[in-house]
Amino acid sequence: MSDLLSIGASGLKAYSRAMSTVGDNIANAQTPGYARRTLALKEMASGTESALVGRNVSPGGVTIQGIGRSVDKWLINDARISSGEAERAATRADWMTKVESALSDDANGISTNLTKLFTTADQLTADPNNVTLRAQFLQSVDDVASGFRSSATQLGAMSEGISDAAQSSVTDLNNNLDALESVNAGLRKARAGSTNEASLLDERDRLIDQISSQMAVTASFDDKGTVTLRAAGTGDALVGNATVTHVAIATGADGRLGFTAGGAAIDPGSGNLAGLGQAADHVADQRAGLDAAAAQFAGQLNTAHQAGTDANGNAGQPLFAGTTAATLTATPLSASQVAAANGSGTNGNMLAIGGMRGANDPEAAWASRLASQAQATSSSRAQFAAAATRADGAAAARDSVSGVDLDQEAADLLRFQQAYSAAARTIQVARETMQALLSAI
């Protein structure tokens, strides 16, 4: 009867723990990083069983081996890679959209005012002495300069915003690296198969997921589950051997970003840091292109205007001052100082300025710049859409193994409840039988 009691008691303990495990799964169904847990049970050998007795029948009950986690390492790694690529694409597409907005005519009016400038020049050819048209021409010059300055200011602010976002992300990354090493320290001390070990492994995987969304990393694990984390591109160790190497960021004069780990240059590869780095490069290119466009436009218009003479017979003066988009300003001229005439007539210079329109004129060059940016932005959005779809599929595949299915948990809970009741009934039968034996004496 004592064997029956101990068998029933082992069942009560095992199935009570099993129901607690199911309850933990249900409670954490929406907890990020939580992997479904299962209770591993094993037949308990009887204390009186002997290998020398071939037909000895002495059941021993059940024992708990430990807590297991439902994970697939390949699916987890695939989800991390696709998630990092989706984060990179999303970050880049977001900033590309902002650049497109900063260069758009709605934001700076450059395209509209370039058209207005050349249209006014055409009108002056018909009435070169019209003071109102001369004033409108000068206003268009000022509006174009203002548009270049506005775009330069917005792109400069974006460059600073990207740098600030990257610095914040690097701070979060380093905090995650520190936390990961703390988890490693806990895993070295954790008892195999314990709930504490399972919780630490969940937190380890969650932190690696978070780090992978910031930059590309590779992870290797020892028999205790502790992780050695390396930068995917260079192999530089970030976490390992109880040591953490922090990532640092530097911003160049043009806004481009550089990343290092332990003083060695690294390439984030994927994740939001890679997206921010690519966005910083694009903004730097656009700022340089905007400066070149402003200088070229100003140089062409200045040369053309200086080739003519104003209403007082004086040589035309430069229309613009400044060498970059941020410093471009309109020269303060009066209506009489508009150089509409040249040697061929009172409207000859305006005819020459109007004739600048063509395949390579400032108006066409600016339209080409906007079209190029629109195409790049559209491409970045398409890349993000594809990467997001890929990431969603990889996450779903991972969750099909690691995620909690509430229907399955409900069925398991009912099954373990019945087993628990049966174990309790076993103890009750053992007690009743023992009482009957004692009463018969």
Cα of 342 vs its chain's centroid, Å = 58
Instruction: Name the residue among 122, 45, 65, 90 with its Cα closest to residue 392.
Output: 90
CA pair distance 294, 369, nearest whole angstrom: 12
CA pair distance 234, 259, nearest whole angstrom: 12
75 neighbors 394 (Cβ within 8 angstroms):
yes
CA pair distance 126, 179, nearest whole angstrom: 75
What average pLDDT does this structure show over 143-171?
Answer: 95
pLDDT higher at 107 or 225: 225
Query: Using one digit for the tens of pLDDT, what is the confidence trace for 385-404?
Result: 999 999 999 999 999 999 99
Query: Which pLDDT value is given to residue 55?
Result: 55
168 pLDDT higher than 80: yes
The rounded radius of gyration (Å) of the Cα atoms in the chain is 37
Q: Please work out, in degrees rounded to the nearest 5, the angle formed at the alpha carbon of residue 37 by the alpha carbons of 34 and 38.
A: 175
Confidence of residue 295 (pLDDT cuts 50, 70, 90): very high
What average pLDDT does this structure show over 40-61?
Answer: 67
Query: Which pLDDT value is given to residue 283?
Result: 97
As given in the structure block, the two tokens for residue 149 are: 């300055």
Those residues whose C-beta lies under 8 Å from the C-beta of residue 123, and which sit 6 or more positions away, are: 130, 133
Burial 45-70 (b: 16+ CB within 10 A, else e): ebeeeeeeeeeeeeebbbebebbebe
As given in the structure block, the two tokens for residue 204 are: 């380890």
| First-residue to last-residue Cα distance in the chain | 16
**Can you name the residues that pair with 333 across neighbouring β-strands?**
none
CA pair distance 51, 75, nearest whole angstrom: 43
83 pLDDT higher than 90: yes
Give the pTM: 0.87
Instruction: Name the residue among 114, 113, 119, 141 with its Cα closest to residue 337.
Output: 141
Instruction: Name the residue among 313, 285, 272, 298 with its Cα closest to residue 90.
Output: 272
